[in-house]
Structures are given as C-alpha cells and as structure tokens.
Amino acid sequence: MERSYDSAIALVRPAVGPLAAHLSAFVASLIVKQYSINCVYIKGRHALAFDRWLATHGVTLADLSESDVARYNRRRSSRCRRSRRVATRRREWCVMMQLLQFLREQGACPLARGSSCPADEVVGGFERYLRHERGLADATIGRVSTTARQLLISRFGKDQVDLGALRAADVVAFVQHESKRVQPQVVKNTVTGLRAFLRYAQYCGAVGADLVASVPAVATWVTTPPLPKAISADHAQRAIESCDRGTAVGRRDRAVLLLLARLGLRTCEIFRLLLDDIDWGQGHVRIRGKGGRQCLLPLPTDVGEAIAAYLQDGRPASADRHVFLRSHAPIRGLMEGSDAIGSIVRYALRRAKVDSPHRGAHQFRHALAVCLLQRGASLSEIGEVLRHRSPQSTAIYATIDVEALRALALAWPGGAR
C-alpha cells in the first residue's frame, strides 16, 4: 500500500494496548508539524510496536516513564539476531521519548519524577522573584539560579536550608572553589549571581547587608582591553552573497545575515522577531532586546527585500508567528538558546571560503560598530544603534580608531616636531 498521511493514521488504529486511545492523535500531531509522509509512517510504526510491548508487559499509562522506554529499547536490541546500528537504536529511542512527551502534554501519563531537595524550594522562590519582580530574561534567571543552588548545596547538602546560618566564610570558600575550577570570567559571573541571590535573601529578611558585602571581587582586568572581534566588510558581503537565493533555506539565511550586518541585531533578537513586529508601511521593525526592552529601528531596503523574498517564497506555512522558522520538521520558530544562527554564520563563511578565526554571529555586530566609527559616527550614536545601556559597552570601540587616537598622542621628547 502506498504510504500517505491517511495510511499512517490507519496504521495505528488497530492498537489495543494502553496507548490505543492516543496514537491517532499522536500521528495527527506529527502531520500538523509537517513531518514527511515516510517519517510519520515510521514513527507511527514504532509507536504501535511500543504499544504492543507495553500491553505484553502489563505497563499502564499511570506507570509509564523513561525507564520503560529504556527497557523497551534494550529489549528490541537483544532480540535482533545481528547487532543493530547504534544510530538506529538512537532514532527509535528519540521516537519513544517524543511519544512520551506528547502523552504528558495531553495529561495521559504522569510528569517526570524529578529528584528535589530543600535547596530547590528556596531557589524556586528566588526564580519567581527574578521573573516577576525584576523582569529578567529566562536565560539570565537560569544562570543566576544555578549559582544560588550550587551555593546552597555546597553549604547544606540535602538538609533543610537555613539562610540565616550562611556566613561570610561560606561565601568566600565557595568562590575560592569555583576559581580553581573555571576561568576568571566565569567566576566573575558566579560572583554576580551570588550577589543577586544574597540581595534576595536580604530582601526576605534572612541575612544582613554585611553578608552581601562579603562577596569577594574577581580580578579579570587586563592592561590592554581586548579588541572587538569584527569581520571585515568584504568578508561579510561575501558571506551574504554566498546564500543561494534559489532555495528557501538560502533566502532565509540571507535575510538573517543581513539583519546581523545591517542592523547589528543580537541572535536572541532575531529569534524573537515576529511577523507583527515588521511595519512595512512605515518601514521600521520592532526589536525585542535584552531584559524585555523594545525599540524601533528603520528597516533598510535590502534587508526588507530579503525578508519579503523569504516570506513570499520560502517560509513554510505555519501558525507560528516567528519570522524565521526551521526548514525541517517540526516546523516552528528557531529555538532561542540554540546555535541555529551560529550555524547559519559558520556555513556561510565556509561557502564564501572566508578564513576567519572567529565563527560567531556577534562579529557582524562588531563590524557594524567599526563601520559607523570609520564614517565619523560618535560613540554615543553607535551606542544608540547597538542599543547599549551603558557608555562603557560602547567605549571598547574607541581602541580601534587609530587615526583619532593618533591626534591625542603627545610628541616624544627630543623627537622630530
């Protein structure tokens, strides 16, 4: 029988195990996410086999967990007369985990049983404070809360947490331990997280201001500030032109690279870009930046044309309102926190045969600042374009304007006048 979406749904209808009532909906969800016909059919076949195995071993939905998936995967491997490829077993395991996640989202089986300790309760309150009172981004909350949890675990272990029992020696010992394990810049971020947590503890009345002041500073300065890692204008243009405008992926990648090069957007700002953020009539785009801040930027003609070309002939049909979507199923917006934008940059540099020591997306943002500086823009104007909150963030670009700095140099005593 020729494979089709209808045949994939019909494949799972004879199921009689504990998953029988949910397999059709699972296959339908795969179709909505625009998986290919063959992929939906194979996933449905794996799900049906798993349903039969659960029925044979008497596993109910109320007891279903990751351990059952592991048992099933080992069982399937041992029954084969010849060794199965590791990649095949891995794909089968991924299908079962995807099915388990779907069942949990539908409320058909219990959520994962995570191990917790008293420190997690304190950290949970800290996270709610950062999210609702401070309005921090999820990535920042995750980084700071991880530091807080590490401190509490190092001091209290799995015992009940008493913030009033924290002492300056505990904080200093934790920082000293981290300084032996990671680089100084990472320790500096750890210290920042510690101060944020102890201020929260002070806000709750559990500790005093002296404990917050006891957090040691970390020396990370250098005699010469590092120069921004900017890509040259020629290399940036070659990377942009390397995108194949005849394919959907090429049109998407070109629009992304132009946003990086012309507007200096951060990767998180491209991830968050929605269809409603682009005002084609007024010619501007709304940028959702760090810390929940928003601003309007003019939309250059070449950037607007590249985005329009992708939207008109390249962007998959989807209810997702993000401008840039994945090219493979599941069709959804590029996931924030992933390396999707970085991959686009690396592949473009490779296609353009640009031998650059830096492969990240942020070098386009630095390149825009360098270009503006060379054209006579002031540091304050560059800071406005890059949406810097502090002038110190923009001041690093003063070190690369050699001609402007040359005029400030004093004559060498006894030298030529």
List phi, psi (to 5°) of 6.
-65, -40
Instruction: Output the CA–CA distances (angstroms, integers) from residue 121 to 63, 135, 374, in the order listed.
Output: 26, 20, 52
User: Is residue 22 flagged as an active site residue?
Assistant: no
The whole-angstrom distance between residue 302's C-alpha and the CA centroid of its chain comes to 27
Q: Which amino acid would we find at residue 134?
A: R
pLDDT at position 221 is: 64
290 is catalytic: yes
Tell me, yes or no, if 397 is annotated catalytic: yes
Q: Are the C-beta atoms of 328 and 33 separated by less than 8 Å?
A: no
Question: Is 388 noted as a catalytic residue in this protein?
Answer: yes
| 3-class secondary-structure state, position 225 | coil
Per-domain residue ranges for the chain?
5-105, 118-213, 233-403
Return d(Cα 5, Cα 403) in angstroms, integer.
Answer: 65
**82 labelled catalytic:** no
Q: Mention the CATH class of domain 233-403.
A: mainly alpha
Measured distance CA(284)–CA(304) in Å, rounded: 9
What one-character DSSP code corresponds to residue 223?
S
Q: Report the phi/psi class of residue 135: left, alpha or beta, with left for phi > 0 and alpha for psi in -120 to 50.
A: left
Confidence at residue 56, expressed as pLDDT on a 0 to 100 scale:
93
- Fold classification of 118-213 is DNA polymerase; domain 1 (1.10.150)
| CA nearest neighbour of 264 among 246, 289, 239, 241 | 289
Residue with tokens 């070449």: 302
The residue among 303, 288, 273, 374 whose CA lies nearest residue 382 is 374
Separation of alpha carbons 124 and 130, rounded Å = 10
Look up 375 and say whether it is catalytic: no
Mean pLDDT by 10 residues, the chain (417 residues): 83 92 94 92 92 93 89 67 64 91 90 75 92 82 91 91 92 91 86 94 92 86 64 92 95 96 93 95 92 88 96 93 93 87 94 83 89 84 86 76 58 63
Q: For residue 89, what is the enclosing H or E element?
A: helix 86-105
Q: Find the helix or strand (DSSP H, E) in which 279 lies.
A: strand 278-279
The backbone region for 328, taken as left when phi is positive above 0, alpha when psi lies in -120 to 50, beta otherwise, is: beta
State the catalytic residue, choosing from 91, 245, 288, 290. Answer: 290
Helices (H), 204-247: 209-213, 233-241
Residue tagged active-site, from 46, 235, 365, 366: 365
Per-residue model confidence (pLDDT) at position 57 = 92
- Is the distance from CB of 193 to CB of 144 less than 8 angstroms? yes
Point out the catalytic residue in the list 266, 272, 322, 326. 266
Among 272, 261, 390, 255, smallest CA distance to 309 is for 255
- Predicted TM-score (pTM) of this structure: 0.75
Identify the active-site residue in 46, 254, 362, 366. 362
